[in-house]
A and B are shown apart, each in its own frame.
Chain A
Amino acid sequence: MKDKTKGVKLCVKIVCLLCLISTSVGCLGARETDQLAFVLAIGFDKAENNQQEVTITIANTLAFSSTGGSGGQNAASYETVSVKAPSAWETGNLFNSFNSRELAYMHTKVFVIGEETAKDGIEKYLTAVSRFREARGNSSLYICKGKAKDFLMNNKPVLETSPAKQIELVENTSKIIGYFPVTTVNNFLKGLKDLHSSPVAGLVGIHKTDKDEQVEKLLRETTDPLQEPYYAGAVPRTGGNKAEFIGTAVFKDDKMVGVLSGSETRTMLLLQGKLTSSMYNMTDPKHDNFNIAINLRQARKPEIRIKHEADGLKIEETVFLEGEFVAIESGENYEGIETKRQLEQAFSREVEKQAKELIAKTKEQNYGDIFQYDRYYRKELATWEEWKNLNWKEIYDQTEINIICKTNIRRPGFLRQTLPILRAEEK
Chain B
Amino acid sequence: MIREGKFGFAEGVSLLLISNLATIYLVEPSVAIELGKNMAWLMALFTMAVMLLQYWIIVSLMKRHQGTTIIEASEQLVGPYLGILCNLLFALYFIIEEAILIRRYGEALLTAALPTTPISVIMVTLTLAAIISCYYGLETIARVSRISITFILGGILILFVAVLNYVDVTNFYPLWSMNPLKIITEGQYKLLILSEGLLAAVIFHSFGNWQNCRSVGLVAISASGIIRTILILLLILGLGVELASEKVLPFFNLSRLVSFGRFFQRAESVFLLTWAMVGFLKLSITLYASTVILARTFRLQDYRPLLWAVSLLCFSVSIIPPDVETIGTLNLNYFTVWGLIPTIVLPFLLLVVSLVRKRERKQEDTSEAGNH
Contacts and interface: CB of A to CB of B under 8 A. Distances in A.
B239 interface: yes
Contacts of A199: none
Contact of A381 (B177, B243, B266): B177
Contact of A193 (B175, B177, B243, B266): B243
B121 interface: yes
A189 B244 CA distance: 11
Contacts, number: 68
Nearest to A23: B125
B176 interface: yes
Between B171, B243, B246, B266, the greatest number of chain A beta carbons within 10 A of the residue's beta carbon is seen for B243
B246 A194 contact: no
B173 interface: yes
Interface string B174-186: 1111100000000
Contact of A130 (B121, B171, B246): B246
A133 B112 contact: yes
B38 interface: yes
B243 A189 contact: yes
Contacts of A193: 240, 242-243
A376 B177 CA distance: 15
A415 interface: no
A252 interface: no
A383 interface: yes
B37 interface: yes
Interface residues of B, number: 31
B262 interface: yes
Nearest to A386: B174
Interface in A371-385: 375-376, 378-379, 381-384
Interface in B162-212: 168, 170-171, 173-178
B63 interface: no
Nearest to A384: B177
Interface residues of A, number: 25
B114 A27 contact: yes
B174 A378 contact: yes
Contact of B117 (A27, A382, A384, A387): A27
B259 A138 contact: yes
B117 A194 contact: no
Nearest to B117: A28
Contacts of B262: 168
A387 B174 contact: yes
A38 B60 CA distance: 60
A383 B177 contact: yes
Contacts of B38: 384
B242 A378 contact: no
Contacts of B176: 382
B174 A29 contact: no
A29 B117 contact: yes
A27 to B, nearest CB: 6
Interface string B247-271: 0000001001101001000100000
A-B residue pairs, 7 tightest by C-beta: A194-B240, A29-B116, A378-B173, A375-B170, A193-B242, A381-B174, A384-B177
Given A27-B117, A106-B266, A193-B240, 12 more contacts: A27-B114, A28-B114, A28-B118, A137-B257, A138-B257, A190-B239, A194-B171, A194-B243, A375-B171, A384-B174, A384-B177, A384-B178
